[in-house]
Structure 1
């Protein structure tokens, strides 16, 4: 052991065993294991009670990645992050309420702040010509029945192929990639009316109107664009959701930014994640067509299906993102029928079980009210979350490489087995 009973330097900051364990994300007994291996030094505390540790030494060990408990088969994977905190009925980005951010800033501004910790008013994202041209050619080559998520997937691959410097994982290079990839994804999407990109040249305007023109042929107005922009902000990150975990695993293996976004798209493609708003969209259309939420909810329950857009595993009450987006949709006159349909679904289901609205239901109200297709919600989700994935990749690039490599619990036949 490296315990030493030397006098403490008055200018030296010492941590208790508990504080050290919390900083490293381990149990107190693991702290002493670090001491026995020579990775930390300890001293007796005042009066000989307990041990203390040098704060700088602990911080250095944390930066080296010498933290985290080895995951037991039944333990929950925990990854330290400074991006998103979900606390009861609030979601915070870098300690700031996400609903407040959505009320005061545009998506590009929040994305930049999430990446750098600095807020720049009026920030714009512009796609580079070569990457945009490659992405548009890739989208144009897809079969006619391809949806927007197919188009986003090939766009990110085409943009990667057009960037010979994509393997530069320095913070500056990754940020430059993010600032150009997101507008490339949006501007490569065809417009509903023509099936072709809206303009030949890169667009320099705000992102929300550009995305709007790719999702619906209906005209936009200020309240609608405000709701869409807020939805992008609210969906920018949500702690370690399935797609974000996939991104961090890819980043841990030092995949380049385009590849980590592709990993996110892959995990997003499911009814329990990014595609959930499409199910809620179709349900609201059915409620509006049949004029009764009760009949539609009854059909779901009779078939043993969950009612789309209700309940969320991390919120005991209403999803705060849904609450914020519903509030903005109140200012959109054309959204009133869809809003009323959503409320009827909530109250009807509440007779059987206490489930609250989540962001998928609010997003479905937006897409139904504005003539967008059922897949539009997933498109909004994917574009928005790309910025959050990049933020997580930047964090993961600072960690020990390939650390997110859990060990499997083998449950097959015991070896040796005969040759088949």
Structure 2
């Protein structure tokens, strides 16, 4: 330890040992404003105030019961708008591909991107894995099985270098979409995905916009699950598996299917569909949001793209009867009905899009101290004897 004036300072190597991270991670903390470096008088290298380092240590697993305020550069939900790295998401839908927005979330750079590759050997393996599922399995079930098998087959899956993680994410998404049943079109991910979900003439720009809108959404339950896995230094396949597990709940990814079924009933009789839900004391599927107050910007964009579709007459009719606003789940339901998408297509779109977000959050988490999530349980069981 070095002393300058009245304060004690640590070298980069000493800070790395104290935080149990690599020296490169120390400089990542500096770039994010979590640590302040100063120049050492009469010597090379940077120094860090010991007191500031100890405050950062107090936020790691060495502090039992620490529940973090997670710092992220990725998405912001503010004033009923959604932003990715400072870009308004409703603007990103216009003129950008899903692949380009993925690169923005992963690297911070918004630039044209090539379609994600789908190596034939990975596609074949993913197809074999998906074929294990029973005939009635959902698309998300097939994706979950394929992710686990592709991870088991990757001998370099524990390479957590950012460039390796991004390369793995590109191939994982490319292989998953291509391996789904159905003949893919040429082009980007959205074009390849359309015939897997709908028998109608291809409208890949609709899926491209949908995937962009769903790519990330702050610290949702599945994203927290993914970050906890990354904090334990799980590989990317396991991070995605953790996200898929949390996404499977009725309050998260499955909400799109509930909204689809609700709209299906409402197409025949909207008043009866609403009345049945209210009589059951259920919240209306696809309406309202925990964070947005007056509108869901993702739903607004999707409804704008569907403006000329007959299903929108029913959407407007229902919205007028409900004392709330439609959210992205209901907008997905409208898209599914407008183009005869598979009944489980909403969950599949949600899962594939959110793999991009989980990857971006994993990249952030790998740069943080490991195992920093540890809530302190309040024991209420039998007295100790």
Shorter-chain TM-score: which interval? Answer: 0.7 to 0.9
2:208 aligns with one of 229, 240, 253: 229
The CA distance in 2 between the partners of 1:164 and 1:72, in whole Å, is: 34
Q: Residue by residue, what CA displacement relative to the aligned partner does 1:29-85 show, whole Å, maximum 9, x if unpaired?
A: xxxxxxxxxx999xxxxxxxxxxxxx9847995799536499998x97521111111
Question: Do the aligned residues in 1 keep the contact of 2:263 with 2:333 (CA within 8 Å)?
Answer: yes
Whole-angstrom CA distance in 2 between matches of 1:207 and 1:377: 16
- 1:148-183 residue CA offsets vs partner (Å, 9 max, x unmatched): 011101111121122111111111111110010011
| Alpha-carbon contact 1:260-1:389 (below 8 Å) kept | yes
Distance 1:271 1:160 in 2: 26
Matched, 1:393 2:362: yes
Who is 1:262 aligned against?
241
Q: Which residue of 2 aligns with 1:319?
A: 296
In the alignment, is the contact (CA less than 8 A) between 1:131 and 1:163 conserved in 2?
no
Instruction: Name the TM-score, length of structure 2 as normaliser.
Output: 0.84
Counterpart-to-counterpart distance in 1, 2:84 and 2:107: 12
**Which structure has the larger Rg?**
1
1:328 equivalent among 266, 285, 305: 305
Alignment partner, residue 361 of structure 1: 330
Contact 1:130/1:162 (<8 A) preserved: no
Question: Residue 128 of structure 1: which of 116, 119, 124 is its match?
Answer: 119
Question: Shift in Å at residue 4 of structure 1?
Answer: 5.3
Alignment correspondent of 1:175: 166
- Aligned counterpart in structure 2 of residue 305 of structure 1, from 270, 274, 282: 282
Q: Distance in 2 between matches of 1:261 and 1:273?
A: 15
Q: Which residue of 1 aligns with 2:195?
A: 213
Q: Number of aligned pairs?
A: 352
Q: Which structure 1 residue ranges, 5 or more long, are not aligned?
A: 7-19, 26-38, 42-54, 192-197
Q: Which residue of 2 aligns with 1:376?
A: 345
Match of 1:339 in 2: 312
Q: 1:293 offset after TM fit, Å?
A: 1.5
Partner of 2:82: 91
Q: Separation in 2 of the partners of 1:406 and 1:98?
A: 33
Separation of aligned partners in 2, 1:59 and 1:81: 25
Runs of 4+ displaced beyond 3 Å: 2-6, 22-25, 55-73
TM-score (norm 1): 0.77
Task: Identify unmatched segments of 5+ residues in structure 2.
Answer: 8-29, 39-45
Deviation per CA, 1:316-358, whole angstroms, max 9, x where unpaired? Answer: 110111111111111xx4x32x2122222221112xxxx2111
Q: Would you say 1:138 and 2:132 are equivalent positions? A: no
Distance 1:252 1:76, change over 3 A: closer
Answer whether contact 1:322 1:359 (CA < 8 A) is retained.
yes
Q: 1:409 to 1:348 in 2, by over 3 A?
A: same
Secondary structure of 2:76's partner? strand
2:347 and 2:68 map into 1 onto residues whose CA distance is: 26
Change (3 A) 1:58 1:325: farther
Is the CA contact (8 Å cut-off) linking 1:65 and 1:399 kept in structure 2?
A: no
The 8 Å contact of residues 131 and 158 in structure 1, kept in 2 or not, is answered as no
- 1:278 maps to what in 2? 257
